[in-house]
Amino acid sequence: MKQKIPCKNCGNLCNGGKSGLCWVCRYKIIPGNRRGAKLTNDQLKKWRECKARDRNYWYGKHLSADHRKNISNSKTGKKSSKEFRKLQSAIRIKKLNKTPNGQWANYNKKACEFFNWLNMWMNWDGHHALHYGEVRVGWWSLDYYEPNYNIVIEWDEPYHYDNDGNLKSNDQHRQEQIKKRLNCIFYRIKESDVINGYWNFKSC
């Protein structure tokens, strides 16, 4: 057990520490311990990591590829009832009508930045969430649509693909229906390719 020593300021027995002060005197005397003192960026980062680790059991842990595949396979083939799908569609339309320019509230900012650059580079005037709003086709909204050239571009985050790297069936169905209705040129682009600095348009 650590031997207690008299506080340098008040004389009360305490653990001392590096300063040789009790916790009451440390709080009063040392400016960095005062309430309202601003933390450095490193201190904030450590504090957030500690909080995340304490609250989240899965912090720093990862499922194996087999485990993720088993979870995915357990959901395959399950279909929602017509009533449930109708309810979900009504909720989505209500949410869509409340957002500015008819865009989804959860649009991808990285995608919009890329589409702005694409418009400038190609001298296009394509529609996306932050430029005229996303164009709707039936129940779906298009990530990017250039009406003058009838071009659709879908921005694919990692969750659009299964563990084997194949496009999910829902996205395939959506793509087929959009092409059928617009008779358009359809491209897909992966977000990971753009982030890594290597990308190309995949014609579908």
pLDDT tens column, 158-198: 989 888 889 999 899 999 999 999 999 999 999 988 887 76
Using left for φ > 0, alpha for ψ between -120 and 50, and beta otherwise, residue 202 falls in beta
- 174 vs 80, 123, 128, 160, CA distance in Å? 17, 28, 18, 12
Asked if residue 196 and residue 104 are part of one domain, the reply reads: yes
Res. 16: pLDDT tops 90 = no
Beginning with the edge strand found earlier in the chain, give each strand of the sheet holding 144-146 in spatial order: 144-146, 151-156, 185-190, 202-203
Write the DSSP symbol of residue 165. Answer: S
Q: How many domains does the chain have?
A: 2
Secondary structure class of 189 (helix, strand, coil): strand
Share of the chain above pLDDT 70, in %: 78
What is the spatial distance between Cα 195 and Cα 125, in angstroms, rounded to a whole number? Answer: 23
Name residues whose C-beta falls within 8 Å of residue 65's C-beta, 6 or more positions apart in sequence. Answer: 163
Predicted structure pTM score:
0.53
Using left for φ > 0, alpha for ψ between -120 and 50, and beta otherwise, residue 101 falls in left
H or E segment to which residue 146 belongs: strand 144-146
Any domain includes 8: yes
What is the spatial distance between Cα 125 and Cα 131, in angstroms, rounded to a whole number? Answer: 9
Among positive and negative, which fits the CA dihedral 188, 191, 192, 196? positive
Any domain includes 147: yes
Any domain includes 132: yes
pLDDT (tens digit per residue) in 59-91? 777 888 888 888 888 877 777 788 888 888 888
Q: Which two tokens stand for residue 144?
A: 């990017």
pLDDT value for 10: 76
Higher pLDDT, 140 or 36: 140
Mean pLDDT of the chain: 80
Any domain includes 95: no
- Does residue 59 contact residue 50 with C-beta atoms inside 8 Å? no
Give the structural domain span for 151.
100-203
Any domain includes 68: no
Res. 152: pLDDT tops 90 = yes
pLDDT value for 11: 77
Res. 102: pLDDT tops 60 = no
Asked if residue 198 and residue 123 are part of one domain, the reply reads: yes
* Angle at 177 (CA atoms; ends 123, 85), nearest 5 degrees: 120
Any domain includes 72: no
